[in-house]
Structure 1
């Protein structure tokens, strides 16, 4: 869609309308409206179906957000959950947006991943880790997501599903987000793109298919036997392990 929209702009059209039901397209349209503002007057989306159909003026959204936040938007959207990157259970994009506004320093990290990144610098990972810490606990003063996991689990009795990911899992999550937002969406208006292997960006091969590489840590059942309990009423023979 963005390739066709970009081509329309090259042909001199200044008003464009796209029909979609995909939130990802909204994000890309806002980015395109921001980047091509000099040759674009209006970029409208017809979003949804039937009675839920509405019109979205992405050029107005881009103007309201400003050039920096509009450019960083795809990375924010990917990290907080999209079609190819998992969401943070129990935490909404609305809450993530509030965290972004409260921690504007993360914008620089988003921008570093917005266009075909070659690597994930330690400084970027550290800033994004702090962003996730605040996402889960806005009053936290720590910068280590593993420390926060321990604190929330022991002090606030959170379920495992609602704990933040480990740092090892978060790094793979950020890689998948960078691949989607930087390499794929970063070339959304280009007809023929060059992509690196997804296996270098948080994915792994399983036969002929790709699966997320969730973490580089070993399974807890194999590394922490002391945390495993069973329902044996008599002496356990060890088979439960």
Structure 2
């Protein structure tokens, strides 16, 4: 610009005196505080589109995104891209079956539970009933694996779970895994998983699920106990006593007592009191508060 007068005098004259349409300001891209697009802008320019983590994790935003995608896939323009594929998409309580030619709600896949994991199993069973040669459940989640094991017998085709990372994908053959474990163990895993620690229940300190699983695999008695726990919404006093016996064995295999309060006392005395409370099994009152209230039946 310092050589503008020498190199381009005619342009310099325009700058100095103005043209036919002189202007008094030059608009530039700048950041305006408290705007809708504030998170996508930076001073002096713009950057790539981004969302705050809280916005991504918002349940309301996820639900709105699903509604938007469902509405778009129902349009002829997007349906045409399916060619010979079929799309099943769930939105709130309903499930839609979308093909190139039409879309319709599937009455047998309507669901009123909030938990998405169990809904996966319902869709897997429906796919098997529709005649698909195999079903792949994509979820890197232990809850889903246990549900697949428990309900594999109700799915009439080979069942696989796709898990792992982006660069290391694994396919678990659920059908073969069930055959190796046996029906009794598969029927017990849901009750075992819930009792030994899940989303709503604390785990036993220092006692992992693998130890609990090995104990169940060695005992047909405990397999039946956890089958009943997993299939029933109620906890009888008799079943609660059997769970206490399992807890005692979980801490010491040679334990003869089946009462967890007695087991706590024996372990404490055996170590002359040199134990942290986390190294002892829970007392009966803690176990009662963690489980459904035992009935007298």
- 1:140 is matched with 255
- The structure 2 residue matched to 1:130, chosen from 245, 253, 266, is 245
Structure 1 gap segments, 5+ residues each: 176-199, 202-241
1:108 aligned residue: 224
Mapping of residues 144-159 of structure 1, within 5 Å: 144-156=259-271, 157-159=274-276
TM-score w.r.t. the length of structure 2 is: 0.54
Partner of 1:227: none
User: The residue matched to 1:113 in structure 2 has which SS?
Assistant: helix
Aligned twin of 1:57 = 173
Give the whole-Å Cα distance in 1 for the aligned partners of 2:126 and 2:284: 42
- Kept in 2: contact 1:153–1:160 (CA 8 A): no
In the other structure, the counterpart of 2:151 is 32
Corresponding residue to 2:283 among 162, 166, 170: 166
Q: Is 1:68 matched with 2:187?
A: no
Q: Match for residue 22 of structure 1? A: 141
Distance 2:138 2:239 in 1: 35
Residue 14 of structure 1: how far off its partner (Å): 3.3
Q: Distance in 2 between matches of 1:8 and 1:102?
A: 35
CA distance in 1, matches of 2:126, 2:212: 34
Q: CA offset at residue 158 of structure 1?
A: 2.1
Contact kept in structure 2, 1:34 and 1:71, CA below 8 Å? no
Does the CA contact (< 8 Å) of 2:136 and 2:162 recur in 1? yes
Which protein is bigger by CA-based radius of gyration? 2
Q: Could you tell me how far apart the structure 2 residues matched to 1:31 and 1:69 are?
A: 9
Number of equivalenced pairs? 173
Which stretch shows the higher mean deviation, 141-150 or 79-88?
A: 79-88
Higher relative contact order, structure no. (Cα contacts within 8 Å, ≥ 6 residues apart): 1
Q: Structure 2 CA distance, aligned partners of 1:26 and 1:76?
A: 13
Q: How many angstroms apart in 1 are the aligned matches of 2:256 and 2:162? A: 43
Aligned match of 1:89: 205
1:140 Cα deviation from its structure 2 partner: 0.8
Instruction: Determine if contact 2:185/2:216 at 8 Å carries over to the other structure.
Output: no
Distance in 1 between residues matched to 2:168 and 2:197, nearest whole Å: 23
- The 3-state SS of whatever aligns with 1:45 is strand
CA separation in 1, counterparts of 2:171 and 2:232? 31
Contact 1:145 1:164 in 2 (8 A): yes
Matched, 1:5 2:120: no
Q: When the two structures are superposed, what TM-score results if normalisation uses the length of structure 1? A: 0.66
Matched, 1:47 2:163: yes
Q: Structure 2 CA distance, aligned partners of 1:20 and 1:10?
A: 21
Structure 2 unaligned regions, length at least 5: 1-119
Q: Distance in 1 between matches of 2:219 and 2:151?
A: 25
RMSD value, Cα: 1.8
Q: Distance in 2 between matches of 1:14 and 1:124?
A: 40
CA contact (8 A) 2:185 2:223 kept: yes
